[in-house]
Amino acid sequence: MATCSCCCGEDELTKQLDKIIEPYRGQPGGLIQVLTKAQELIGYLPKWALISIAKGLGLSLQDVYGVVTFYAFFSLIPRGRHKISVCAGTACYVKGTKMVTKTLREVLGIKPGQTTPDSRFTLEVVRCIGACGLAPAMIIDGKDVHGRLEPEQIPQILEQYA
């Protein structure tokens, strides 16, 4: 999930967010879709974005906040440039998730849920990424699946992500 820090400030982001909101204006049912796209755009869901979304869809800020905090997918705080999701599904658990998480904690110096001080990585433990055939597995940036993990491979894998 790329954080948009390349070109645009908040003004540009606000414009783009408005475009996301537009098709759902006045339709509270579109909330989850709008939040998903907004998070894709900004990298997380800051308060100003939640306020515009609430206004746009005709909801109270409280309703929006309630939904954001209910679903694990949404984040209210900025995340690192790369999101590491360690799978803790049953198959991975049986085959050694504990060891993978331990190695990542040591290498990155952070706990699950935290971001490294240089904003490079956010570490998360998630429930089943559906790659059980490759257990134990982790997924980086929501698309790169790394499977059959051995602790000693992990530093090398992380090097691919600047």
Partner 1 sequence: MKSLDELAKIRDSRRAALKIREGVPSATEKAHIMMCGGAGCISSKCTDIVEAMKECLAKNGIADQVQIILTGCMGPCDMGPVAIVYPDATFYRRLKVKDAEAIVEEHILKGNPVQRLLYRTPGAKEPTRCVHDIDLFKKQKKIVLRNNFYIDPTSIEDYIARDGYAALAKALTQMEPGEIIEEVKKSGLRGRGGAGFSTGMKWGFTAAAKGSPKYVVCNGDEGDPGAFMDRSVLEGDPHSIIEGMAICGRAIGSEQGYVYVRAEYPLAIERLSNAIDDARRYGLLGKNIFETGFNFDIEIRIGAGAFVCGEETALLTSIEGKRGEPRPRPPFPANAGVWGKPTVLNNVETWANIPEIILKGAEWFSTIGTEKSKGTKVFALAGRINNTGIVEVPMGTTLREIVFEIGGGIPRKKLFKAVQTGGPSGGCIPADYLDTPVDYDSLGALGAIMGSGGMIVMDEDTCMVDIAKFFIDFCVDESCGKCSPCRIGTKRMLEILERITTGNGKEGDIELLQELATTIKSTALCGLGQTAPNPVLSTIRYFRHEYEEHIKEHYCRSGVCEFKE
Does residue 102 contact residue 125 with C-beta atoms inside 8 Å?
no
Q: Which is nearer to partner 1, 66 or 109 (CB)?
A: 66
Using only C-alpha atoms, the chain has a radius of gyration, in whole angstroms, of 17
Cis status, amide bond into 136, omega within 30 of 0: yes
The distance of closest approach from Cβ of residue 142 to partner 1 in the complex, given in angstroms and rounded to an integer, is: 6
Q: Which is nearer to partner 1, 80 or 136 (CB)?
A: 136
Q: Which is nearer to partner 1, 46 or 147 (CB)?
A: 147
* Footprint on residues 104-143 left by partner 1 (CB under 8 A): 126-135, 137, 142-143
Q: In Å, what is the CA distance from 87 to each residue of 16, 60, 92, 130, 131?
A: 33, 35, 6, 9, 9
Applying CB under 8 A, the residues found at the interface with partner 1 are: 28-33, 35-36, 63, 66-67, 70-74, 88-91, 93-95, 126-135, 137, 142-147
